Amino acid sequence: MSFDYINALQKKPTTRTPIWVMRQAGRYLPEYRATRKQAGDFMSLCKNKELACEVTMQPIDRFDLDAAILFSDILTIPDAMGLGLYFSEGEGPKFTSPIQSLADIEKIPTDVTNELTYVFDAVATIKKALNNRVPLIGFSGSPWTLATYMIEGGSSKTFANTKRMLFNEPQALHLLLDKLADSVIGYLNQQVLSGADSLMLFDTWGGVLSKQNYLDFSLDYMAKIVKSIKALHPTVPITLFSKNGGKHLTDIADTGCDGVGIDWTVELDDVQAQVGDKVAIQGNLDPAVMYATPEIIEKEVKKVLSKFKGNTGHIFNLGHGITPDVDPENMKVLVDCVHKFSAR
């Protein structure tokens, strides 16, 4: 099997620039909204392997995408650690028992793979349904990003509690991050054993840290995960994505990862000049371009493609997830334009 998505990550020749889109399965698709309604709530959808498989396949059936991504969430690990995850309508994720002290951190378990078998079952079910059409991406949140949700008790704008712990009790935060890194290693290892062909770490909130704090509290733990997974599965490509991480790209590329995800606040040619010899680059169309007309989308796609030099090492994506109010027809325009204008 030869896939442009895997080949691009490994800098092998590709027939065209591969594309997948963060949140490609989700609320912008009417068929997703229907399955989600059938499941009841979001976590029930994640915990039902047939329905998780169904929504993973929906964008693959509709568009000519080059990879599928497991339908799940990054908050499965904190949920398995006993924090009580729930989704309140319109408010995003919440925890009934957020982390408030060192004592809370000492109590949480590290080996949670037994609580996450529903995720591995979903991976195996999706892998079978894909029947080698396209590769399957497994994923986890980064320890830092997971820690922010666990300490804030949900989404946050200021990360006040997490940063308070970072400055007042750095050792407590390091203990939590250590436990999370070990959990993530076990989690990703099981995803590969169940059929994931490639892995991605979402560090959505890495960009809110200063340089040294980013290195110490986010990147170090991602580097540990990369090293451990590479020792177990040397040929499985790993992509790291720190949103707003433009200042840290050379540090990220030095972890031994295969791909670096970038958002739209950096220029693809600058990034390629910095790290293009070491890693493949994933990105970086502004997700808001998806609100524009097909003609504008085509123009913006050409702009991104023209910034990358060479025939491999670029995986097209948005700089962050596709938003729920995008017209699905524009997703088709995007995918087809990327392929049409990058054919070798």
**How far, in Å, CA of 241 to CA of 175, rounded?**
23
If we measure between CA atoms, which residue out of 135, 139, 161 comes closest to residue 76?
139
Q: Could you say whether residue 317 binds ligand 1CP (CB under 6 A)?
A: no
DSSP structure string for 225-262: HHHHHHHH-TTS-EEEEETT-GGGHHHHHTTT-SEEE-
Examine the residue annotation and report whether 149 is marked as an active-site residue of this protein: yes
Write out the binding residues for ligand 1CP, residues 71-100 only, by CB under 6 A. 71, 73-75, 92-93
Catalytic residue among 36, 66, 79, 258: 36
Stretch that binds ligand 1CP, among 4-12, 69-77, 126-134, 331-339 (CB under 6 A): 69-77
Positive/negative CA dihedral, 114, 200, 67, 3? negative
* Binding track over 176-215 against ligand 1CP, x by CB under 6 A: --------------------------x-x-----------
For residues 312 and 316, which CB has a smaller minimum distance to ligand 1CP in the complex? 316
- Exposed, middle or buried: residue 37 (CB in 10 Å: 0-12, 13-18, 19+)? exposed
Single residue of 10, 11, 23, 307 touching ligand 1CP by CB under 6 A: 23
Task: Identify the residue among 25, 180, 208, 219 touching ligand 1CP (CB under 6 A).
Answer: 25
Residue selected from 69, 271, 280, 285 as contacting ligand 1CP according to rule CB under 6 A: 69
Piece of 23-31, 105-113, 177-185, 206-214 that binds ligand 1CP (CB under 6 A): 23-31
| Residue 73 known to be catalytic | yes
Of 22, 31, 76, 23, nearest in space to 54 by CA = 31
Cis peptide before 284 (omega within 30 of 0): yes
Active site (annotated) includes residue 327: no
Q: Is 248 annotated as a binding residue?
A: no
Lookup: tokens for 216: 């110490």
Task: Tell me which of 22, 173, 260, 279 binds ligand 1CP, using CB under 6 A.
Answer: 22
Beta strands in the chain (DSSP E): 68-69, 85-88, 92-95, 136-141, 198-203, 238-242, 259-261, 280-285, 314-318
CB 115 within 8 A of CB 188: no
Interface segment toward ligand 1CP; rule CB under 6 A; list 70-78, 101-109, 217-225, 289-297:
70-78
Catalytic position from the list 5, 32, 149, 221: 149
Choosing from 17, 24, 244, 284, the residue that interacts with ligand 1CP (CB under 6 A) is 24
Give whichever of 112 and 272 is closer to ligand 1CP, judged by the CB atom. 112
What tokens were used for 277?
Answer: 């010899």
Q: Please identify the residue of the shown chain whose CB is closest to the bound ligand 1CP.
A: 155
> Residues in contact with ligand 1CP, total (CB under 6 A)?
20
Q: Quickly list H helices, 40-133.
A: 42-47, 49-62, 76-78, 102-107, 117-130
Nearest-angstrom CA–CA distance, 344 and 338: 12
**Sheet strand arrangement including 68-69:** 68-69, 136-141, 198-203, 238-242, 259-261, 280-285, 314-318
Kindly list the residues in this chain that would bind ligand 1CP in the complex (CB under 6 A): 22-27, 36, 42, 69, 71, 73-75, 92-93, 139, 155, 202, 204, 321
Could you list the residues known to form a binding site for substrate, using ranges: 23-27, 73, 149, 204, 320
Active site members: 23, 27, 36, 73, 149
Could you list the residues known to form a binding site, using ranges: 23-27, 73, 149, 204, 320
